[in-house]
Structure 1
């Protein structure tokens, strides 16, 4: 039964991969045929084809991150410092979208045993998602606190459109996304990284009010 279930899951994932990659490949083939038969300006075709190839690369790179076991060399790091580095990196994009990022650390030290670059990737994903959820601008509050004596909590709260309750449980499934151009793999990768750090990821959302993603990590 376990083997059958594994094969079923592998089949669903394979079907999702085939569907997601077939779409941009179909576009590229179509534009190549147009370029062969058309005498019109072809620069726009190159831009679209390049964009579709980038999408294929994104899907494949995120799939590889899920499939390939990550060799992690952990070390004690201050999560607040990692977070501030990521916020500085994301600040130009936030300013362009009229989003103000506010970090509030309610504890003096937030040291966890982690792989720094992997946590940076998680924070980039969550901050990027929050910025995209607020197309008209807004505030992203990030609060770092202790949820218990041996656990650290990071809450990413946006003022976006929110996610319907019935859809929250579907987040984390491959190729399920609420974004027009998303792959649904970014959240899966982030969740896997946090779980590999023996932590958890929870989502709380209210329509037209915003979404909070809470990451808990052992300290």
Structure 2
């Protein structure tokens, strides 16, 4: 751009204003930040101009980088060279312990030949600081990424650990319920023949000439035997791992009425009042009526046992916006002890002296099989509140 061919060919001889322009350009190059020396070499290796005037006119024949530049080579890789590696590495400013040295070949205007070279010495302080900043940012980025990865892994591990704990507890509960199921299946199967005999005896006695009061008692015996037979049949069907069909449905108000009919003698004897609050929506739920009756019988039995005489037993059912039907059973008993609140649904855990601790556990399992849930909590003032949620018929 500066038409410098004559300057290099004539080895710095005075060629008028053009040479002054070139030297002004070279002086400008030498004042670029971090550049502390600039040398201009002719084609034979003689220094024509230098920012250090003591270097002008000297030559250093054993200079492989300069020889490569004279052949038109420009190595883009910058190397940090220690002081004293070459004869020309003298007279550097104080404080310069290492530097970057590179050669730029100067070609003729047509680009066919090399007429000289420019050598630049640059202090690497700013470069090294930039590299250090890049390294610092890289380390900080790596630490941040590592922290984020560690945090993510910690969350995953914590969640997985909690899932494993829940699964382990569920497995233990399943194993315990499996033992209960096997025992109950054997007991249920063994009860069918005695129940059939009791029913036969009651029917035969009904054919005799007996008082009306006795006839009513015998009719009640046959009804209760039929009811027990239905429970046993439903239980044995579940034992064959038959979860039932989605078409199974029950009418909750009718199931509640049958349950209270079964407990009526006990309720009358203990003067326990029953308050039933029906809902306004559809009473139809998905599930087997016999299984639902078994769950409600367990809940009602526990509530009646927990209350003193002259207590109040309440039951309500309502349709919820989430597509479930909620049944709540309340009593006026003492409630559930604090240490038993989270254990009442575990198999063989009971707060009653003569209890087995399997009723509520099986009740929750049946509710979950039907796609619902069963929960228990203490009431705001007294007694316990049992909440049964079931999928409603839409």
Residue 180 of structure 1: aligned partner:
353
Residue 273 of structure 2: aligned partner:
100
SS of match in other structure, 2:378: strand
Could you state the TM-score of these two structures normalised by the residue count of structure 1? 0.68
2:239 to 56, 65, 68: 68
Distance 1:83 1:173, change over 3 A: same
Shift of 1:179: 0.9
Task: Kindly indicate whether residue 308 of structure 2 is the aligned counterpart of residue 145 of structure 1.
Answer: no
Task: Kindly indicate whether residue 316 of structure 2 is the aligned counterpart of residue 128 of structure 1.
Answer: no
C-alpha distance in structure 1 between counterparts of 2:343 and 2:259, whole Å? 27
Q: Structure 1 stretch 103-112 or stretch 172-181: which is displaced more?
A: 103-112
Could you state the TM-score of these two structures normalised by the residue count of structure 2? 0.39
SS of match in other structure, 1:148: coil
Residue 172 of structure 2: aligned partner:
9
Q: Structure 1 stretch 162-171 or stretch 176-185: which is displaced more?
A: 162-171
1:91 to 258, 264, 284: 264
Distance 1:150 1:177, change over 3 A: same
C-alpha distance in structure 1 between counterparts of 2:346 and 2:266, whole Å? 27
Residue 166 of structure 1: aligned partner:
339
SS of match in other structure, 2:336: coil
Shift of 1:140: 0.6
C-alpha distance in structure 2 between counterparts of 1:184 and 1:190, whole Å? 11
Contact persistence 2:335–2:378 (CA under 8 A): yes
Residue 200 of structure 1: aligned partner:
373
C-alpha distance in structure 2 between counterparts of 1:174 and 1:130, whole Å? 19
C-alpha distance in structure 2 between counterparts of 1:206 and 1:113, whole Å? 28
Runs of 5+ in structure 2 lacking a partner?
1-163, 181-231
Q: String of CA shifts for 1:103-125, please: whole Å, max 9, x gaps.
A: 11122421112111000101111
Contact persistence 2:317–2:326 (CA under 8 A): yes
Residue 55 of structure 1: aligned partner:
none
Once superposed, what is the RMSD of the aligned Cα atoms?
Answer: 3.2
Residue 387 of structure 2: aligned partner:
214
C-alpha distance in structure 1 between counterparts of 2:375 and 2:309, whole Å? 25
Residue 49 of structure 1: aligned partner:
none
Aligned length in residues: 171
Shift of 1:136: 2.7
Distance 1:113 1:209, change over 3 A: same
C-alpha distance in structure 1 between counterparts of 2:347 and 2:362, whole Å? 10
Distance 1:137 1:207, change over 3 A: farther
Residue 119 of structure 1: aligned partner:
292
Residue 31 of structure 1: aligned partner:
none
Larger Rg belongs to:
2
C-alpha distance in structure 1 between counterparts of 2:269 and 2:275, whole Å? 16
SS of match in other structure, 1:204: strand
Q: Structure 1 stretch 186-195 or stretch 143-152: which is displaced more?
A: 143-152
Distance 1:157 1:180, change over 3 A: same
Shift of 1:163: 0.9
